[in-house]
Chain A
Amino acid sequence: MDAETGWRLPGSDSFWGGWSNFSRSAIIARVCLFAWAKTKTATIFTGIPAGAADLFPRTMFQSEVAVSNFSTKPAQVSVTLARTIAGKTSTELVQKLVLAGQSSGTVKIPAHGDPAMTNSLVVRSNLSPGDVVSQFIAWGDIGVRTVEMQAKDNDSVQNGGGHPWTIARGTNSTLLLFNHSTDGPKKFEVLVGNGKQLWEGSYQLAPMETKAVKINEIVEKQIPDAKGTVLSKDLLTGQVAWWTHRAAWGKGRLMVSQPETGMARSFSCGNCSELCYYIDLSPDSSASFGVFGFGTLGDASTQQCLGECGTCSGTPQGPVSEFFTWRSSNTSIATPSSGQHSSMATFQGVSPGLANGNVVAQDSGCTARGTGPITVTPMITSIAPNPIMIGSTNQTLTIEGSGFGTSPTAILPAGFTSSGQGSTPNQIVLTGVSVAYSATVGNNNVTVTANGPPSPAATLVVDGPYHMIVESDSTFTCSGCATTVQRNVTYQVQNFSGANAGTTWVGESGSDGASSCTPNTLPTETACSQNFQTLATGVFTDEWTLNSDAYKPAGCGFTVNYDHWQWCQHSAAQTLGTLMGYIHTDKIEINGVVSPNHMPTGTVVPF
């Protein structure tokens, strides 16, 4: 609730405190409900004005800390000012005092702080938490009258914060960060964005160092982050989040001020930035590999979540590096072989089956977990004979590999039959194997199952008549004709392996358009029923002609819609090549080539 206006701020669990004179020009400090922190060992005030302040150029501030001892015992209290000027940090013991039980005192802060407000206070006492409470107040000589600022407990569990910022209409938004630890530099992560753009900053602060991150400069001077991202210049409002990786390392607050109106607001309610409870695995979120083979899971990535303390959840703020530990849910299926403590782990297959690769990371009471399914399959390394000829009978087929177990099943392509099987964990021997003429000529798949998921498919080539190529192409006036042309194309039927197919039973299945000639006779085709065989070299000649000068007028003819040349012995009459075109008295087109042009020798006729 705003003390001046009675406004309630949306989403806020705090109220707005004002200055004693309720001046419109006063700095307004945002005070959380727990603002009067009960100190355990120390109370922190981050980014205080002490003397001149750049944000209010004409104002000099005199600062004071009020300390109250609510216990009946005397309290030993010390107030320390930590200043960071031109990158150098120094501390100054402002005063030591002893407060009698149930008494208060004030300590004046020297007015030689840094104008950038990179000054922070640490108030320590020797009493138990809640016994000694402190409050910061500063008085401005002009414009800004008084400033109050909430205290933060040194050992607060909160290690981050998220605040709204604006730089509209001359407003400044400055994030003030303070490393109040004494055991070395600490890293502060900062995210500035608006839900569509995100600027990521990382700052290393020395002990007792205060850092001012000016959002105005980031936007207006187009300062890139470590990834080169800059925020667009028209970005005027958004959210800023900050965190350290451990509580008790640092504190922060956002100062939103407008010097022309003498207005300033401090956002300092804290959150917990903790390890999110989940781990993403990308790009390898699952793995499938063979027995004795290897597969990887990862990269495992964790996020830092900003939210309620102790929940290990909230709004993801960005990736954080963690120490991972990978395990297998079933080491009789797969075991981690390397990278057990890195983001990418390698597992090795032990036996066919399903398992999970589980990864865990722990940080400050939060445990993040991820799981990637692992499928371990049998593996086929070779098949012999390969290729195998279609129509062959009583063959022995040997499948080599691993993970076959004691009673594997070999899944053979359609058209294959076998009459016997023997096996070891690394070999399957199939006997009495026949390849029917219904099998598919070309690449076929073979898999093996052994009480679990099937192996990846291995290729078994079935060889046999597959396609036809042009051997020669000639056009001439047919014998007995004066003008009518004839086109003879000699093809060779070849096996899938590329060898000539030998004597092969071929026939054609076609469709012709109506003839424009008189008479309008159409040709007959070489049907499979005619039992036509190629020569022993797989060669045959296909002749296209009207075959007589009797067809009138000159240039008449018909269209060959399609002419499928087929291997007739295959149970489904497998097409070896398809011809299309036309036959006219004076010219003949085959597959786009009009006589007297020729299809080049070696042309593979498309199916």
Chain B
Amino acid sequence: MGARSVRLAMWLNVLLLATCAAAQRPGSISGTVLDERGSPVAVAQVRVDTLDGRPKASAVLMVETDKNGHFIMNNLDLTDYKVFAMKEAAGYPNTAASFYSNNAFPTVTLTAGAPEVEVTLRVGPPAGIMSGIVKDAVTGAPVSASVLLRRTSDPDKWISMSQKAEYRVLLPPSVDVCVEVSAPGYKTWFYGGTSDTLKRSPIQLESSKEMKLDIQLEPEDKPEKQP
């Protein structure tokens, strides 16, 4: 075999390896989700997001934990990841939002030397829960609305969520939060029971504390008809 043939064979090997790498990424993250008491959390969602700062317009990589709180996420590129665990039904919110994470979240680095990493993700303590029904103040009809939550101490940390008329939102425990509820055709409602922004007040709920509050939205004033 001549030198030319050897170089060709090596090049073909490189191509073959590259093809295999594209078909199956080598990285994986596995581990367990534990609550504030150290108990495993079943059916929690574990999401990862790259730390490369690249724009996203793609599906969130997500798996669910088993009954023992275990999860494994395969087929990952070798890079740095933010890792989030959530189970909203149990009061553990989506910490991909800085409103909930307060920019404190675990990271994982996958490298060629360590393509498989095992982590323990802790959630909790559970958030406070604010729930109720959003209604038309005049007709009493239920209204689907948007709920905006904002940390009073750090207004850049906010989240706006679509909600059905029977709403349920999670509030970080022991944190002052401004709550705004809005819907097309209605005046924005501020916690404190007012549509006057100057009269709004923050709400703070302890962990696992649930507050029931029905919200009545005033229809917007219709402009008077011109003669």
Contact = CB atoms under 8 A, between A and B. Distances in A.
Contacts of B67: none
A548 interface: yes
A541 B82 CA distance: 16
Given A480-B82, A541-B60, A475 B55 contact: no
A598 B97 contact: no
B95 interface: yes
B30 interface: no
A563 B158 CA distance: 27
Contacts of B84: 479
Interface string A472-513: 111111111111001010000000000000000010101010
A385 interface: no
B96 A547 contact: no
Q: Chain B, interface size: which category?
A: 35 or more
B105 interface: yes
B157 interface: yes
Interface stretch (A157-165, A412-420, A523-531): A523-531
Contact of B159 (A475, A510, A542): A475
Given A482-B156, A541-B62, A548 B162 contact: no
B59 A526 contact: yes
B120 interface: no
Tell which of A481, A510, A522 has the most Cβ of chain B within 10 Å.
Answer: A481
B97 to A, nearest CB: 4
A479 B95 contact: yes
A523 B161 contact: no
A477 B94 CA distance: 12
A545 interface: yes
B55 A523 contact: yes
A583 B144 CA distance: 25
Contacts of A542: 57-60
A473 B162 contact: yes
B160 interface: yes
A479 B101 contact: yes
Contacts of A515: 55
A393 interface: no
B191 interface: no
A182 B105 CA distance: 114
Contacts of B57: 510, 512, 523, 525, 542-544, 560, 563, 583
Contacts of B94: 474, 488
Contact of A508 (B58, B105, B146): B58
A597 interface: yes
A476 B22 CA distance: 33
A601 B58 contact: no
B53 A547 contact: yes
Interface string B141-171: 0001010100000001111111010000000
Interface string A565-606: 000000000000000000100000000000111111100000
B55 A525 contact: no
A231 to B, nearest CB: 50
B54 interface: yes
A477 B59 contact: no
Contacts of B208: none
A530 B156 contact: no
Interface string B162-199: 10100000000000000000000000000000000000
Contacts of A583: 55, 57
Contacts of A473: 161-162
Contacts of A486: 56, 96-97
Nearest to A527: B58
Contacts of B157: 477
B99 A476 contact: yes
Contact of A477 (B47, B82, B97): B97
A558 B157 CA distance: 24
A477 B51 CA distance: 15
A548 B94 CA distance: 18
A547 B59 contact: no
B98 interface: yes
Contacts of B75: 530-531
A595 B53 CA distance: 21
Contacts of B56: 486, 523, 543-545, 547
Contact of A472 (B49, B51, B162): B162
B59 A601 contact: no
B96 to A, nearest CB: 5
A347 B151 CA distance: 78
B164 A601 contact: yes
Contacts of A136: none
A595 B144 contact: no
B109 to A, nearest CB: 15
A477 B99 contact: yes
A540 interface: yes
A600 B54 contact: no
B53 A548 contact: yes
A175 to B, nearest CB: 64
Contacts of B148: 596
B103 interface: yes
B54 A547 contact: yes
B56 to A, nearest CB: 5
Contacts of A535: 62, 64
A445 interface: no
A535 B134 CA distance: 30
B33 to A, nearest CB: 16
A232 interface: no
Contacts of A512: 57
Contact of B146 (A470, A531, A547, A597): A597
A546 B52 CA distance: 11
A523 to B, nearest CB: 4
- Give me the 8 closest cross-chain CB pairs, A-B, nearest first: A598-B162, A548-B53, A596-B160, A476-B97, A476-B159, A523-B55, A523-B57, A474-B161
Given A472-B162, A474-B161, 12 more contacts: A477-B156, A480-B98, A481-B98, A486-B56, A524-B54, A543-B58, A544-B56, A548-B53, A550-B53, A596-B146, A597-B146, A598-B161
Interface of A: 470, 472-483, 486, 488, 506, 508, 510, 512, 515, 521-526, 529-532, 535, 540-548, 550-551, 558, 560, 563, 583, 595-601
18 contacts: A470-B162, A473-B161, A475-B160, A477-B97, A478-B97, A478-B98, A480-B51, A481-B98, A524-B54, A525-B57, A543-B57, A543-B96, A544-B56, A544-B57, A545-B56, A583-B57, A600-B162, A601-B162
Interface of B: 22-23, 47, 49, 51, 53-62, 64, 75, 82, 84, 94-99, 101, 103, 105, 144, 146, 148, 156-162, 164
